[in-house]
Amino acid sequence: RMEASCLELALEGERLCKAGDCRAGVSFFEAAVQVGTEDLRTLSAIYSQLGNAYFYLHEYAKALEYHHHDLTLARTIGDLLGEAKASGNLGNTLKVLGNFEEAIVCCQRHLDISRELNDKVGEARALYNLGNVYHSKGKNVASAGTHDPGELPDDVKSALQKAANYYEENLTIVTELGDRAAQGRAFGNLGNTHYLLGNFRSAVLAHEQRLLIAKEFGDRSAERRAYSNLGNAYIFLGEFETAAEYYKRTLQLARQLKDRAVEAQACYSLGNTYTLLQDYERAIDYHLKHLVIAQELHDKIGEGRACWSLGNAYTALGNHDQAIHFAERHLEISREVGDRSGELTARLNLSDLQMVLGLSYSTNNSMMSESHVVENSFNGGRPRGRRHSMENMELMKLTPEKVQNWN
C-alpha cells in the first residue's frame, strides 16, 4: 500500500515535470521520498528527476545534492547505466557551479561507462557534456582578463581547443546516428567555441549549419540564437553590414517570440553595429529602443549602458546638450548601482564635454583632480592611450596632458 503510494506520487511528479511544471513536480517527488520505498531503483529514479527538476529551476545546490544521492544509489545497486547517467548529470551541475575539474571527472566517467556498455547514444551525450565543461572553463578563465576573441592566454586556448575537439567527436557520432537535433546543439556550441578562439570563418560555418537545422525543426528560439551568433561573428570579420542584417533578423524573431529582454539585447547590438558603421542617427534610434525596454524591465545595468552609448553617439554627432544629458544620467545610474568604473567613465566624459563647451572649471577642480588620481591607478602605468573602460568597452578620449593644458 505504501509502495503504491510512493510510486503514485512519483508518477504524478514525472507527469508534472514533463508538462513543464517543475515546481509542482518537485513537491510530488519530495512527498514520494517522504513516504519512502524499499525499491532502490525507484528511489534512484526519483532522486535523478528531483536533481533535474532543481537544475531547470536553477537551484543548483539542491540539484547537486540529489544527483549525488542518485550516484551513490546507482553504485550501491551496481547499476552501471544508472551510474553513467548520474555522473553526467552531476558533471553538468558541477559545471554550472564553476567546479570544472570535478565536472570533468564526472563527465569522463559518463563517457567511459558508455563506451564500456557500447552505448553510442550515451557516448555522444557525454562528449557533448565534456565539450560544454571545457567551453565554460575556457570562457571562465578568459572573462577574468580583457581581450578580444582570439587573443587568449595558453590555458584558455587549450581548454577551448579541447571543447572544439569534443564537439567534433560528438558530431561524428550523432551524424552517424542521424540525430539532427543533437547535431544542431553541437554546431551551435562549436560555433561559439570557434568564435572565442578567433576562428570567425569557422564560427560562421558552424552557425550556418545550426541555422539550417533550426529551420528544419521550426525551432524559432534556436533560429534566433543562430542569427545573433552569426551577427557577433560578422562583427569580428569586419563585415558590419552583414552583422546588422543578422541582428535585424534576431530582432524580428525576438519580437515574434515576445521576449523583451532578448529584443533589448538585439537593439543594443544594432546600436553598436551602427556606431561601428558610423551611422549615428540609426545607432541612437536603436539605443533609445534599448533604453525604453531596459527601463521597462527595471534593468539598471542595461539602462546605464544605454545612456553611455547614447552619450557617445550624441557626442559623435556634435549634439553636446543631449550628450551631457545622457552622460549625467549615466553618472547617476553608475552611482546608484555602485559601478565604480562606470562612474569614473561618466565623470571623464562629462569633464571632456564641459571642456569642449568651454565651461568654467572653477567648480570642477576637485572633480578633475580626483579623476586624475583614479585614472593613474586605473591604467597601472601602461604606455597606452587613456582608457575609459566600461564593461571592457574602449573610448579613446583626451589625454591627461591635454586636460592639464586646459587648466
Least distance (Å) between residue 340 CB and other proteins: 17
Residue 254 contacts other proteins per CB under 8 A: no
Contact 46, 66 (CB under 8 A): no
25 binds other proteins (CB under 8 A): no
Please tell me the distance from the alpha carbon of residue 56 to that of residue 63, in angstroms, as a whole number.
9
Asked if 164 contacts 197 with a C-beta cutoff of 8 angstroms, the reply is yes
Closer to other proteins by CB, 128 or 134: give it: 128
Residue 357, interface with other proteins (CB under 8 A)?
Answer: yes
From 28, 100, 195, 246, residue interacting with other proteins (rule: CB under 8 A): 195
What is the nearest approach in angstroms of other proteins to the Cβ of residue 228?
5
Beta carbons of 201 and 237 less than 8 angstroms apart? yes
Rg (CA), the chain: 26
Amino acid at 16: L
**Alpha-carbon gap, residue 216 to 219, rounded angstroms:** 8
CB of 380 to other proteins, least distance (A): 18
Q: How far is the CB of 89 from other proteins (least distance, A)?
A: 5
> At its nearest, how many Å lie between other proteins and the CB of residue 199?
14
One symbol per residue from 37 to 76: x for binding other proteins (CB under 8 A), - otherwise; what is it?
Answer: --x-xx-xxx-xx--x--x--------------x------
CB 289 within 8 A of CB 323: no
Q: Residues touching other proteins: how many (CB under 8 A)? A: 81
Cβ proximity of 344 and 370 under 8 Å = no
Among 92, 209, 351, 364, binds other proteins (CB under 8 A): 92
DSSP assigned state of 146: -
Least distance (Å) between residue 320 CB and other proteins: 8
Please give the residues from 297 up to 316 whose contact with other proteins meets the rule CB under 8 A.
309, 312-313, 315-316
Q: Interface with other proteins by CB under 8 A: which range of 187-195, 287-295, 325-333, 363-371?
A: 187-195
Q: Supply 108's cell numbers.
A: 569522463
- The answer to whether residue 216 forms part of the interface with other proteins (CB under 8 A) is no
396 beta partners: 387
Report d(CA 12, CA 227) in Å as an integer: 39
